[in-house]
Structure 1
Amino acid sequence: MWGGLQVFSLPQAASAFVRGLFVAVATFLVVYALSKLTDVLFAYWAARARRTATKLDDQVVPILAKVTKAFLWGVAVLLVLQNLGYDVSSLLAGLGIGGLAVALAAQETLSNFIGALALLVDRPCEVGDRVDVEDISGTVEAIGLRSTRIRTLDGTVVSIPNRKMADAKINNFAKRPTIKNVFTVGITYDTPYEKLQEALRILREVLEGHPSTHNYWAYFKEFGPYSLNILVIHWCKYTDYQKFLQATEEINLEIKRRFEAAGIEFAFPTQTIQLQGLPPLGKG
C-alpha cells in the first residue's frame, strides 16, 4: 500500500486518508502483537503467583495485565487519531485534568493499591507468618488490595491499610532461623562448690541432649542478692511458637527433675534481719 502511494498520484485528501488508514492498520497490528505478548508474560506470572501461599499476587496480576493492555490500546488510539489529522493535544490535556481529579478523589485507594504492590515485590511478610506491626502482634491472615488482615493472639482481626503496612516497621518472627530464650537459674548461697559445678554440668547436658537445641550457653554469671545466678541462653530450632513452648517445658521439667535428684536447691527471695540493741526477753 505504501509503495502504491509512491507510484500512483492521488488527490491530496485521498492520499492523506490512505496514509492514515495504513498507519492505523500498522498500529493495530503492532499493538495487537504487543497485547498478545503481554498475555503470554502475565500468564507466566499468574502461574507463578498460584504457587505462592499469598493470594495478593493472584489478585494483582490480572489487574496489572488489564491496565497494561488498556495503556497499549490507548496509545494506539492516540497515534491513529494524530495521523488522521486530529489534534490530540486538547484531548491529552482533558485526560490529564480528568486523571488528576480522579487521582485526588481516589488518593487513599491508589496509595493502598501501591502499598499492596510494594508488599508483593518486597515480601516482608506472607500469609501465615507471625508478625509484630507497630503495636499489633498476630498472624497474617490475608493480604488484599486495600488492607492486610492480622489475627491477633486474642483472636480478633485487625485490618491495616496497605499504605501503612508498606511504611511500617514489621518484625517477622517466621523469618528467624531460631527462637532465643534467655533465663536465669538461681541456686541457694549455701550450695557447695562441687554442687555448683554439678548444676552447670546438668544444665549443659539437658540443653545439649534436647532435640530442639540449635545452640546454648550456660555459665555461672553473678552473685545475686539472694542466689548464685547461672545465665542460660537457649537457641531453639522450632520457630513455631507452640512447639517452642513445648520444648521449653520439657527442658524445664528435666532440669527440675535432675536438680531434685542431685539435691540442688533453687533459690527464692529471702531476707535476713538482725535486731540489735533490744533488751533480752524477761527483763523490764
Structure 2
Amino acid sequence: MGDPLYAVLLLFAGLIGSVVLYWVYHWLLKRAEKTESKIDDILVAATGKPLIITVLVVTAYLAIVSSGIIPPKYEYILDSKYLNAFYIIIGAWVASSFSYNFIHLYGRWMASRTESEVDDRIIDVLEIAVKYVIWFIAFLLILSTLDIDITPLLAGAGIAGVAVALAAQDLLSNFFGGALIVMDKPFKMGDRIKIDDYLGDVISVGPRSTRIQTLDYQLLTIPNSKIANSVIINYALPEVRLKIKIPVSVAYGSDVKRVKEILLEIANEAVERSACVLRYPPPTVYFLEFADSSLNFTPIVWAKAFNMAWDVQDFINTRIDERFREEGIEIPFPQMDVHIKKS
C-alpha cells in the first residue's frame, strides 16, 4: 500500500512549484527583453514552458507511484522507460524551439543585409528542416527506449533517403549552388555579367536558377549549379566604368604619326561631345601591330558605365570613317599576294 497523504502533498508541491516557475519564467522574459543580446530571450523562451510541464508531469508521476492506487496488473504503465520517453520529448521540444528561434532571429537578420532572395528561402528551408530532423531523432530514441526494434525503420529510411537524394540530385546541386552565390557574392541584382557565351543583366537569383536579361531583352535562365562551376565576368565590379578598346586598321604606306593624331583627336572629341565618355582617365592611342595586310592601332577611352559601350563605339567608329575619308586614309580589306616563280 502507498501513502495517499504523501502523494497528495507531493502533487500539491508540484502545482505550487509550477506556478512559481510560471511567474519566474515571465519575469525572466521581461528581463531578457531589456538586454541587447537576443540569446537570453531565445534560451528563456525555449526552456520556460517545457520546464513547467516537466515539473507537473514528474510530480504527478511520483505522486501516482507513491499513492499505490494503480492495480498490480496495470503497474507496467509506471515503468521508468515511459518517464524516460517523456524526458526525450521535453528535450526535443527545447532543442527544436531553441534551434528554430535562433535560425529565425539571426538567420533573418543576416538575410536582410543582402539584396538576394535566395538566402531568405534558405532560412525558410532550414527553419523547417531543423524541426523535422530533431523530432525524427527524438522519435527513434523514444522507440529505442520503449524496446521497439528500429532496425527496419532505419533501413527503410536509409533506402528512402538514397532514392530521394538520387531523384533530387539536380535540385540539391542547384540549391547549394544558389547558397554559394549568396555567400561568395560574385554578382548582385542589376550587374552585367558574362557566363560562358551568355551576356546580360542579372534580374533575379532564385534557389534553383539565376535569371539574366540579355542585351536583346530576352530572359535567360541558368541553373545555379552551372554558375557555381563557371568563370564569371562581372562588368559592374569593382566599379561600373568600362575601358573600351577600339581596333582600327589602315593600309600600309599611311602616315603613322598622322593616323595617331587623328585617332586621338576623335577620342578627345568623344570626351567633349558624348555624354557616355569619361574625361579621366584621358584617352590614349597605341600603334600595336604590323599585320599581314594593315597597320593596326587601338584607341582607348573610358565609358561612364558598362551599358554605354555600344554608344561610345558607335560615336567613335562613325567619326573615324568620316575623318579617314576626309584625310584620304585607306581602311584596307584582307588581301594575300601570291608570287609565282617561273622555272
Q: TM-score, normalised by structure 1?
A: 0.69
Which one of 162, 178, 182 corresponds to residue 224 of structure 2? Answer: 162
C-alpha spacing 1:100/1:225, structure 2 compared with 1 (3 Å): closer
C-alpha spacing 1:60/1:222, structure 2 compared with 1 (3 Å): closer
Most deviating of 218-227 and 90-99:
218-227
Which one of 124, 129, 141 corresponds to residue 62 of structure 1? Answer: 124
Most deviating of 57-66 and 114-123:
114-123
Unpaired stretches in structure 1, ≥5 consecutive residues = 272-284
Which one of 299, 305, 310 corresponds to residue 232 of structure 1? Answer: 299
Report if the CA contact (8 A) 1:218-1:230 is conserved. Answer: yes
Report if the CA contact (8 A) 2:246-2:298 is conserved. Answer: yes
Q: Distance in 2 between matches of 1:47 and 1:234?
A: 43
Report if the CA contact (8 A) 2:235-2:306 is conserved. Answer: no
Aligned to 1:27: 88
1:196 Cα shift?
Answer: 7.2
Tell whether 2:111 aligns with 1:49. yes
More helix by share: 2
Which one of 180, 184, 192 corresponds to residue 243 of structure 2? Answer: 180
**Per-residue displacement from partner, 1:79-137 (whole Å, max 9, x unpaired)?**
22212222222211111112222223333333332332333333333322212222222
What SS does structure 1 have at the residue aligned with 2:246? strand
Q: Distance in 2 between matches of 1:140 and 1:75?
A: 41
Q: Distance in 1 between matches of 2:85 and 2:260?
A: 90
Residues 89-238 of structure 1 mapped to structure 2, 5 A cutoff: 89-177=151-239, 178-184=241-247, 211=278, 213-214=280-281, 217-221=284-288, 230-236=297-303, 238=304
Report if the CA contact (8 A) 2:119-2:182 is conserved. Answer: yes
What SS does structure 1 have at the residue aligned with 2:330? coil
Aligned to 1:77: 139
Unpaired stretches in structure 2, ≥5 consecutive residues = 1-57, 334-343
**Per-residue displacement from partner, 1:180-204 (whole Å, max 9, x unpaired)?**
21135678967596x6786687579
Q: Distance in 2 between matches of 1:198 and 1:248?
A: 18
What SS does structure 2 have at the residue aligned with 1:114? helix
Q: Distance in 2 between matches of 1:225 and 1:94?
A: 72
1:66 Cα shift?
Answer: 0.7
C-alpha spacing 1:218/1:151, structure 2 compared with 1 (3 Å): same
1:250 Cα shift?
Answer: 7.2
> How many residue pairs are counted as aligned between the two chains?
259
Per chain length, whose mean CA-contact separation is higher, i.e. which structure has more relative contact order (CA < 8 Å, sep 6+)? 1
Q: Distance in 1 between matches of 2:77 and 2:138?
A: 18
Q: Distance in 1 between matches of 2:135 and 2:249?
A: 74
Q: Distance in 2 between matches of 1:251 and 1:17?
A: 92
Matched residue type, 1:31: A
What SS does structure 1 have at the residue aligned with 2:148? coil
Tell whether 2:89 aligns with 1:36. no
1:58 Cα shift?
Answer: 1.9
1:67 Cα shift?
Answer: 0.7
**Per-residue displacement from partner, 1:22-75 (whole Å, max 9, x unpaired)?**
433333333333223322233322233234222222222111211112111111
Q: Distance in 2 between matches of 1:222 and 1:203?
A: 20
Report if the CA contact (8 A) 1:146-1:162 is conserved. Answer: yes
What SS does structure 1 have at the residue aligned with 2:133? helix
Q: TM-score, normalised by structure 2?
A: 0.59
Q: Distance in 1 between matches of 2:260 and 2:170?
A: 63
Q: Distance in 2 between matches of 1:91 and 1:48?
A: 38
Report if the CA contact (8 A) 2:116-2:182 is conserved. Answer: no
Matched residue type, 2:246: F
Matched residue type, 2:110: R
Report if the CA contact (8 A) 2:266-2:319 is conserved. Answer: no
